[in-house]
A and B are shown apart, each in its own frame.
Chain A
Amino acid sequence: MNGRRAFSELVPAKDSYTRVILSGAATSRSEVAAESKDPYFTRNASKDSPVPRGFLLLLLCLALLAAAAYAQGGGELRFCLRNEPKTFDPLLVDDDSSLSIRYLTGGVLVRANRKTQQLEPELAESWRLSKDGKQITFKLRHGVLFSDGTPFSADDVAYTMQRLMDPNLHSSTGDAFRSGTGAVTTLKLGPDQITVIFPAPIVELDALFDQVAIMSAHSPKKEGAVLGPFLVAEYKAGSSVLLKRNPNYWKKDAHGHRLPYLDSIHLDIQPNRDVEMLRFKRGELDLINVLDSDYFDKLASTSPQLVHDAGASLDADFLWFNQVASAPIPPYKRAWFRSTNFRRAVSEAINRADLSRIVYNGHAQPAVGPVSPANKFWFNSRLHPEAHNPDAALKRLQADGFHLQDGTLKDKDGNAVEFSIVTNASSKPRERMAVLMQEDLGKIGIKVNVVTLDFPSLLERISQKFNYEAAILGFRNVDLDPSGQMNIWLSSAENHAWNPQQKSPETAWEAEIDKLMRAQASASDPKKRKQSFDRVQEIVYEQAPFIYLVNQDALSAVSTSVEGANPVILHPQTFWNAERLTLNANTRASR
Chain B
Amino acid sequence: MNAARKLACVVLLAVCAVSLAADWLAPSGYAKQFREVPSSPPSRQHLLGTDEIGRDRFARVLYGTRISLVLAPAAALVSTLLAALVGGLAGYLGGIWLRIATSFTDLFLSLPWLFLLIAVRALLPLNVSPLSSVLITFFILGLLGWAASARVLSASADSLRNSDFVLQAQASGLHGPRLFFVHVLPNLKPILYAQFWISIPVFILSEANLGILGLGVAEPLPSWGSLLRELEGLVSFREEPWRLVPLVLLIVVLTSFQLVLSNNEEVTA
Contact = CB atoms under 8 A, between A and B. Distances in A.
Given A358-B38, A453-B215, A436 B53 contact: yes
A439 B219 CA distance: 11
Interface in B91-136: 118-119, 121-122, 126-130, 133
Interface string A403-436: 0000000000000001110100110100110111
Interface string A446-469: 000111111001000000000111
A401 to B, nearest CB: 22
A178 B251 CA distance: 59
B220 A435 contact: yes
Contacts of B232: 274, 428
A425 B130 CA distance: 16
Interface in B17-55: 31, 33, 35, 38, 52-54
Nearest to B214: A425
Given A294-B233, A418-B127, A469-B127, A450 B53 contact: no
B1 interface: no
B219 A277 contact: no
A450 B219 contact: yes
Interface residues of A, number: 36
Given A274-B233, A281-B235, A425 B213 contact: yes
B214 A452 contact: yes
Contact of B52 (A281, A358, A434, A469): A358
21 contacts: A278-B235, A292-B233, A298-B233, A298-B239, A419-B127, A425-B213, A425-B214, A425-B215, A428-B52, A434-B219, A435-B53, A436-B33, A438-B219, A439-B33, A449-B129, A449-B133, A451-B126, A452-B218, A454-B118, A457-B122, A467-B126
A469 B53 contact: no
Contacts of B33: 435-436, 439
A435 B129 CA distance: 13
A186 B38 CA distance: 59
Contacts of B130: 449
Contacts of B54: 358
A453 B122 contact: yes
A577 B109 CA distance: 54
Contact of A431 (B122, B133, B214, B233): B214
Nearest to A301: B239
Nearest to B33: A439
Contacts of B119: 457
B211 to A, nearest CB: 10
Contacts of B122: 453-454, 457
B186 to A, nearest CB: 44
What's the dominant secondary structure at chain B's contact region? loop
Contacts of A354: 35
A295 B236 CA distance: 12
A454 B122 CA distance: 8
Given A281-B235, A292-B233, A436-B35, 17 more contacts: A274-B235, A295-B233, A359-B52, A359-B53, A432-B53, A435-B53, A449-B126, A449-B128, A449-B133, A449-B218, A450-B218, A450-B220, A451-B126, A452-B219, A453-B121, A457-B119, A468-B126
A436 B35 CA distance: 9
Considering the complex of A and B, which 6 residue pairs feature the smallest CB-CB distances, nearest first?
A: A425-B214, A457-B122, A420-B126, A450-B219, A420-B127, A452-B214
Contacts of A438: 219-220
Interface string B42-85: 00000000001110000000000000000000000000000000
Contacts of A294: 52, 233
Contact of A432 (B52, B118, B133): B52
B106 to A, nearest CB: 27
Given A435-B220, A452-B215, A358 B53 contact: yes
A49 to B, nearest CB: 58
Contacts of B118: 454, 457
Contacts of B126: 420, 422, 449, 451, 467-469
A461 to B, nearest CB: 8
Nearest to B119: A457
A141 B218 CA distance: 60
Contacts of B52: 294, 358-359, 428, 432
Contacts of B220: 435, 438, 450
A298 B235 contact: yes
